[in-house]
Structure 1
């Protein structure tokens, strides 16, 4: 069992996205999920994002842009499962902000209703509301 405490208010696992144009993704997340920037964005000398943190609900996502200092690290994409109060509303916000529909919101037997949206960087955002009482 891992029970590692940290001084930064992070959960045991914190996603760290490596994307081209991190500022654009931060803006997308702020618009779609009402995410809040956590602290200041730090930049390298070439004005690329070295580190940033954004908070969606009670979860933190870190992100940066690739650096020539570490040529083996390339932009990557991933999938995130995000609980919201109204998945239909948030799904529509994501589409209006340029997201590409992967799946329209649908009710599933386990009680979640969700749809999927792909952002410009290739990340899939599963936008979820739990409906089962």
Structure 2
């Protein structure tokens, strides 16, 4: 299997009718880095991961995603997401295995499980 030293083997791609809005949300909530560049899918770096965002070029229907993101502070990321219009699905809570976790649904229909590692 061919891989690149600058890319993970699997990169999730979120299709939405509002790429700019979703990119702004991901930057504000998770500190994602990356810019919209023409018609190409936006490649956002979240820590050591990459997420692509695009409109699908008119070929693919909008498809909600369920994505887990590890952050330094679950409560702060959850608060930012809700402040930006996300709907709280699970408020921040300590899990039996040690993680602190919360879940939100963004305005584009995607569900984000936000966690801080307890290990």
Q: Which of these residues, 73, 76, 80, is aligned with residue 67 of structure 2?
A: 80
1:101 lines up with 2:88 in the alignment = yes
SS at 2:21 equivalent: helix
Q: TM-score, normalised by structure 1?
A: 0.83
Q: Which of these residues, 1, 4, 7, is aligned with residue 2 of structure 2?
A: 4
Larger-Rg structure: 1
Equivalent in the alignment of 2:17: 20
1:5 Cα offset (Å) = 1.7
Q: How many residues align?
A: 119
Q: Which of these residues, 87, 97, 108, is aligned with residue 110 of structure 1?
A: 97
SS at 1:42 equivalent: coil
More helix by share: 2
SS at 2:9 equivalent: coil
8 Å contact kept, 1:41–1:53 = no
Gaps of 5+ in 1: 44-49
Gaps of 5+ in 2: none
1:4 Cα offset (Å) = 2.8
Q: TM-score, normalised by structure 2?
A: 0.92
Give the CA RMSD over aligned residues: 1.5
